[in-house]
Amino acid sequence: MYGKLKKLCCKWNLELPRLGLVLYTFGNVSCADHQKRVFAIKPSGVPYEDLSEDMIVVMDFDGKILDGRLRPSSDAPTHAELYRSFPGLGGIVHTHSTYATAWAQALRDVPLYGTTHADHLATPIPCTEMMADERIRGDYEVETARQIVNTFAKRKLNPAEVQMVLVGGHGPFTWGSTPEKAVYHARVLEELAKMALLTERINPKASPLKKAIVEKHYQRKHGKDAYYGQR
């Protein structure tokens, strides 16, 4: 019943180590089917070299396991809450990639310094606040998603436009309309984080990219009159 979804989920999970975004058992990809209100996700603690599609776990958006013999990722409740809160997400990725996680640990947004960043989003990459103790003692994984949702609401960010975030003290989450796009954004986020760090090492007083260039690069790729790429 869920064979196609599990196969897709396994495929994109295996992209994470190939792209250098994970070590050992770190991180996960989930793939959603909104018509069925279900998502598939990597099982907890399984090394990527051992992962196969029959190990993938399928859950509904309320977190109930529907298919799979293994425990799902411990981050599954975070994914479920994001699917409930941000309609239209087809895939979600969580990693502990080095540069993105370093910015998350520093509790800093990734500044918008250049056109590579502006090609993907017209704002800094947001970082949430550190989670409050009472939330940590509560339903921690669900509260992780709520940290993201609350940050987007507070800053008036659109998750269809800003498809990456840093959770303070934790690490990056990305998403997209498909799992392929979610993985793409995870790789892009890591590169943007690396570029920003190098920019500040070279020039600690570097200024954010001027707004006119940001708008030009973002709109030519994502605006209603976009002309990047082929028709």
Tell me what pLDDT residue 83 has: 97
pLDDT in tens, 23-63: 999 999 999 999 999 999 999 999 999 999 999 999 999 99
Catalytic status, residue 119: yes
57, 66 contact by CB (below 8 A): no
Angstrom distance (rounded) from CA 225 to CA 34:
29
What average pLDDT does the structure give for the chain? 96
What does the longest C-alpha to C-alpha distance in the chain come to? 56
pLDDT in tens, 154-207: 999 999 999 999 999 999 999 999 999 999 999 999 999 999 999 999 999 999
Tell me what pLDDT residue 202 has: 98
Tell me what pLDDT residue 175 has: 98
From 113, 119, 218, 225, active-site residue: 119
H or E stretch covering 39? strand 38-41
Sheet with 57-60: list strands edge to edge: 65-67, 57-60, 38-41, 28-33, 91-94, 171-176, 164-167
C-alpha distances out from residue 53 to 24, 116, 147, 154, Å: 18, 35, 31, 38
* Choice between 223 and 113, residue whose per-residue pLDDT is larger: 113
Catalytic status, residue 184: no
Within 10 angstroms of residue 224's Cβ, the number of other Cβ atoms is 5
Domains, the chain, with CATH or none:
3-222 (3.40.225.10)
pLDDT in tens, 89-104: 999 999 999 999 999 9
Angstrom distance (rounded) from CA 99 to CA 226:
30
β-sheet bridge partners, residue 59: 39, 65
Angstrom distance (rounded) from CA 29 to CA 38:
14
User: Where are any strands of DSSP class E within 69-207?
Assistant: 91-94, 164-167, 171-176
Angstrom distance (rounded) from CA 16 to CA 95:
8
